[in-house]
């Protein structure tokens, strides 16, 4: 049975699927694709997040730490 892929719907209503594909150099790359390709992943790996640009382009990136404010701000 094929696992249900993690999906994300952007602000324009387009749905993207989380997939793992092989890079040209033999590594593994996480991509958000409009149609499933490569190996579908059921969830985001720990330490990763979905990012959406102002144009609605969806990508996967390493999670950023929240901004730290100096005491008294």
- Write out pLDDT tens, residues 31-56: 999 998 889 999 999 999 999 999 99
Pairing of strands 7-9, 28-33: unpaired
Give the start-to-end residue ranges of the domains of the chain. 7-60
Please tell me the distance from the alpha carbon of residue 41 to that of residue 11, in angstroms, as a whole number: 22
Determine whether 4 is exposed, middle or buried from the number of CB atoms within 10 Å of its CB (0-12, 13-18, 19+): exposed
Q: Is residue 71 scored above 80 in pLDDT?
A: no
The reported pTM is 0.78
């Amino acid at each position: 049975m094929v696992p249900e892929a993690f999906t994300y719907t952007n602000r324009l209503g387009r749905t993207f699927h989380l997939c793992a594909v092989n890079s040209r150099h033999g590594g593994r790359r996480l991509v958000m694709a409009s149609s499933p390709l490569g190996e579908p992943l059921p969830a985001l790996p720990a330490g990763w997040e979905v990012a959406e640009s102002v144009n609605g382009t969806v990508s996967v990136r390493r999670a950023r730490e929240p901004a730290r404010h100096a005491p008294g701000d």
